[in-house]
Structure 1
Amino acid sequence: MSLEHKKEGKLELIAQKSFAPYPEMYKVVDYLNRTLKEKDVIFGLTKDKDGKMTISIYET
């Protein structure tokens, strides 16, 4: 990724994985974000209307 792209503050999706609902997954995502914030990655978590969860990994 170019330095110019990083200056724009955009996130680049690196990976996504969907799985069955896990009620405490938000704690895992929070832990990963706190632990790896210096590594230029951000983790996101979404839950669709059917309850399926998706974790996303972004590069900043």
Structure 2
Amino acid sequence: MESKIEVLSTIKVEYQTDMYKIVDSLNRTLKSEDLMFGLALDSEDKTKAIFTIYRT
């Protein structure tokens, strides 16, 4: 079984320590809608985070 993940949107934002809680809540709430959310610290600027929305 092959699963394709499509990137719908990516944005760079100012990093805040509790951002992962929002991403976790979105993932739990919208999993049934085939949506997934990601958050990664920018490797070049540690004050920024990259927020990504995926369709699974």
Give the corresponding residue for 2:26: 32
Q: Which of the two has greater strand per residue?
A: 2
Tell me, yes or no, if structure 1 residue 22 matches structure 2 residue 16.
yes
Normalised by the length of structure 2, the TM-score is 0.88
RMSD after superposition? 1.0
In structure 2, how many angstroms separate the alpha carbons of the residues matched to 1:8 and 1:58? 16
The gaps in structure 2 that reach 5 residues or longer are none
The gaps in structure 1 that reach 5 residues or longer are 1-6
Deviation at 1:21, TM superposition (A): 1.1
Q: Which of the two has greater helix per residue?
A: 1
Percent identical among aligned pairs is: 44
Q: How many residues get paired?
A: 54
Give the corresponding residue for 2:36: 42
Runs in 1 of length 4+ with deviation above 3 angstroms?
none
